[in-house]
């Protein structure tokens, strides 16, 4: 078994272990496994990427580091809202870097059909996020502005994932777009729990969707770099 497969399976094992300790509410175990998740994924991305000199590789690596910081901060968010804000800031910057990487990792083969798909999905995402923010905003108190900015960052990230339609391989588009949507759902569940009401197995579902989303995005980015040998 080669190193890239070992790291892929290790990521899945760490994610499964994290879900297990979350289910049994073992905080010390969650600190270990959640803190290990993004470093393992970053190692996997480092190994599978062929061209490590391009801008998108370096930026994407920085985004994964920010995701790791966000994970660590959010671990301690129940203790103090400041950790929640720091985690949100880390993920906000990560979302914007992801969006820029999605912009770099595309060709310029727009067609009328693709443009219709893109514009329709962009409007749907904007309306969905706007409506969601409108519903939860009354519960946010002093966090309305930072959460509003974060919602905008999510929208930008998902929109740039959508804009890759027809400008990359079908598989790369599907993985990145799917990952971005799942990421949006995961963050939506965090907001529901934080500002509205907890629900059964919420933390397990949040972590599961987050872990899947990150892996899909990494795989989709890699497949574009592999297919087009991009210099960006």
Q: What is the pLDDT of residue 231?
A: 57
- At residue 227, the pLDDT reads 84
Predicted local confidence at residue 108, as pLDDT: 74
Measured over the CA atoms of residue 159, residue 165, residue 168 and residue 174, the dihedral's sign is positive
What does the pLDDT read at residue 54?
82
Q: How far is CA 101 from the centre of its chain?
A: 13
pLDDT mean for each 10 residues of the chain (232 residues): 93 98 96 98 94 85 97 92 94 98 84 78 95 95 93 97 93 97 97 93 97 98 84 62
**What's the rounded Cα separation, in Å, for the pair 96 and 152?**
10
Q: Do 23 and 204 form a contact (C-beta atoms < 8 A)?
A: yes
Residue 230's pLDDT is 63
Please state, in angstroms and as integers, the Cα–Cα distance from residue 105 to each residue in 70, 174, 213, following that order.
24, 14, 18
């Amino acid at each position: 078994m080669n190193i890239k497969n070992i790291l892929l399976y290790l990521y899945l094992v760490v994610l499964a272990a994290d879900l297990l300790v979350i289910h049994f509410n073992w905080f010390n175990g969650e600190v270990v496994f959640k803190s290990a998740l993004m470093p393992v994924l970053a190692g996997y991305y480092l190994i599978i990427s062929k061209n490590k000199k391009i801008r998108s590789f370096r930026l994407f690596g920085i985004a994964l580091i920010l995701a790791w910081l966000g994970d660590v901060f959010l671990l301690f968010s129940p203790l103090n809202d400041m950790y929640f804000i720091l985690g949100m800031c880390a993920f906000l910057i990560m979302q914007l870097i992801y969006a820029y990487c999605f912009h770099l990792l595309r060709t310029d083969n727009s067609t009328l059909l693709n443009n219709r798909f893109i514009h329709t999905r962009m409007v749907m995402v904007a309306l969905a996020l706007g409506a969601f923010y409108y519903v939860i905003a009354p519960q946010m108190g002093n966090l309305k502005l930072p959460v509003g900015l974060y919602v905008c960052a999510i929208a930008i990230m998902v929109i740039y994932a959508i804009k890759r339609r027809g400008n990359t391989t079908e598989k790369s588009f599907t993985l990145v777009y799917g990952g971005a949507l799942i990421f949006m759902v995961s963050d939506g569940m965090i907001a529901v729990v934080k500002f509205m009401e907890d629900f059964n197995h919420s933390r397990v579902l949040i972590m599961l969707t987050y872990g899947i989303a990150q892996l899909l995005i990494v795989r989709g980015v890699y497949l574009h770099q592999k297919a087009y040998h991009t210099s960006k």
